[in-house]
Structure 1
Amino acid sequence: MPTISQFFGIVIQMFWREHSPTHFHALYAEYEALIDIRTLEIIKGNLPKRALAMVLEWAVQHRTELMEDWKLCQQKQLPKSIAPLE
Structure 2
Amino acid sequence: MYYNDNPPPHFHAKYGENETVVAIETGEILAGWLPPRALGLVEEWRERHKAELLDDWRLAEQREPLVRIAPLE
TM range (shorter): over 0.9
Alignment partner of 2:22 out of 35, 57, 61: 35
**Could you list the runs of 5+ residues in structure 1 that have no partner in the other structure?**
1-13
Distance, in Å, in 2 between the alignment partners of 1:78 and 1:66 is: 13
Aligned to 2:44, which of 57, 74, 80?
57
Letter matched to residue 23 of structure 2 = D
1:19-61, Cα deviation, whole Å (9 max, x unpaired): 0010000001010000000110100001000000000000000
* Structure with greater contact order relative to length (CA < 8 Å, sep ≥ 6): 1
One-letter code aligned to 2:6: H
Q: Partners in 1 of 2:15 and 2:62 — Cα distance?
A: 28
- Residue 16 of structure 1 deviates from its aligned partner by 1.0
Runs of 4+ deviating beyond 2 Å: none
Q: In 2, are the aligned partners of 1:37 and 1:66 still within 8 Å (CA)?
A: yes
Relative to total residues, which structure has the larger strand share, 1 or 2? Answer: 1
Structure 2 gap segments, 5+ residues each: none
Q: CA RMSD in A?
A: 0.5
Alignment-mate amino acid for residue 55 of structure 1: V
